[in-house]
Amino acid sequence: MSFASTTDLAEKHISFDELGPGLYAYTAEGDPNSGVIVGPDGVVVVDAQATPIMAADVQRRIAAVTALPVKQVVLSHYHAVRVLGASGYPAHSVICSDATRDLIVERGAQDMDSEIGRFPRLFRGRESIPGLTWPTTTFHQRMTLWLGEREAQIIHIGRSHTAGDTVVWLPKEKVLFAGDTVEFGATPYCGDAHFADWPATLAAVRELGAEKLVPGRGRALLTRADVEQGIAETAAYTGDLFAVARRAAEKGWTLKQCYDEAMAALRPKYGHWVIFEHCMPFNVSRAYDEASGIAHPRIWTAERDIAMWAALERGEPMKSAEVH
């Protein structure tokens, strides 16, 4: 048995786009993105990448535009693919929301094992990971970094991709590092999502009025039209999927029936997005759980991953404990 992602071995082209003076987007053709903010005394990185070796590539790009060191790393959420590279920076502080730290405590170790098993290409140099990434600073709802005269607001924007989703907003420059609240041309991963809350979170993102936005995956969005497209398409995908799950729960369908219906309904519209095949079993499983009344996402383990994939992709029966 192998996940769709285990055959995704092609290296991605890295882009390092300037969003404005001292502001950059590190993007990788649908692989996880990072953001860079250059201050007068040091650099802030938004999302660390998956391993210290992969973080070194971000630092190589930074070194081409400034000799200043990375002093702070902001985590948009707790997923291993975003955070385990933090030790590869000379950062003085690692910042996340209090909700994100709670999730690291609750499920960080299981998530690390699960993600590495599902998508090994995204953890290049995983032997360099020293262990879980722990924040040095947490905040409740919002905090502000002052980088000289530059204001960077770090906002726990609401529940969507996870319960701890955080964005970094530069109000003067109107640039937003959105984490996985927004994707562009890439399938949102929803295995730990809060579908009912996602629309309000996207509304809060929209209200900020970003003119440029770095999504969690996909290219940097450099116009208001592109920003709106990214928000609208993320809303459409998550809304369409949750509608199928609610219907399945109302009709008493099995998880496999829900999955088959969701694939038939969503593939024509979204099947060309990157990691669609990989994400859908996890996404349907979480949507079905939430529609069935399981408010707090169940923890993914390597064992649960395998059982779910076999049930949905190969039609093998799941044990009752693995269904709920």
Does any domain span residue 201?
A: yes
Pick the more confident residue, 120 or 141: 141
pLDDT at position 320 is 41
For the chain, report the end-to-end CA distance as a whole number of angstroms: 22
Average pLDDT over residues 254-283: 97
The secondary structure of 118-161 as a DSSP string is: H-GGGGTTGGG--S----SEEESSEEEEEETTEEEEEEE--SSS
pLDDT tens, position by position, 144-168 = 999 999 999 999 999 999 999 999 9
Contact by Cβ (8 Å): 57, 84 = no
Structural domain harbouring 74: 4-236
Q: How far apart are CA 168 and CA 176, in angstroms?
A: 6
Q: Residue 322's CB: how many other CB atoms inside 10 A?
A: 17
What SS3 state is found at 89?
A: coil
Asked if the structure places residue 12 within a domain, the reply is yes
242 in a structural domain: no
pLDDT at 7 over 70: no
* Cα–Cα distance, 33 to 55 (Å, whole number): 11
* 288 inside domain: no
**Domain total for the chain?**
1
- Residue 122 pairs in a beta bridge with none
Q: Is residue 200 part of a domain?
A: yes
Which three-class secondary structure state does DSSP give residue 221? strand
207 part of a folded domain: yes
Burial classification of residue 252, based on how many CB atoms lie within 10 Å of its CB (0-12 exposed, 13-18 middle, 19 or more buried): exposed
State the CB neighbour count (10 A cutoff) for residue 162: 25
Q: With bands split at pLDDT 50, 70 and 90, how would you rate the model's confidence at 313?
A: confident
Cβ atoms within 10 Å of 14's Cβ, excluding its own: 14
| Cβ atoms 167, 155 nearer than 8 A | yes
Confidence of residue 92 (pLDDT cuts 50, 70, 90): confident
pTM of model > 0.75: yes
pLDDT score at 263 = 98
- The first and second tokens of residue 188, run together, are 């949102």
Element (DSSP H or E) covering residue 176 = strand 175-179
**Does 258 map to a domain?**
no
Q: Tens digits of per-residue pLDDT, 214-247? A: 999 999 999 999 999 999 999 999 999 999 999 9
pLDDT exceeding 70 applies to what percent of the chain? 94
- CA 216 – CA 228 distance, rounded (Å): 15
The CATH number linked to 155 is 3.60.15.10
What is the Cα–Cα distance from 323 to 319, expressed in whole angstroms?
Answer: 7
pLDDT for res 324: 45
Q: Does the residue 41 lie in any domain?
A: yes
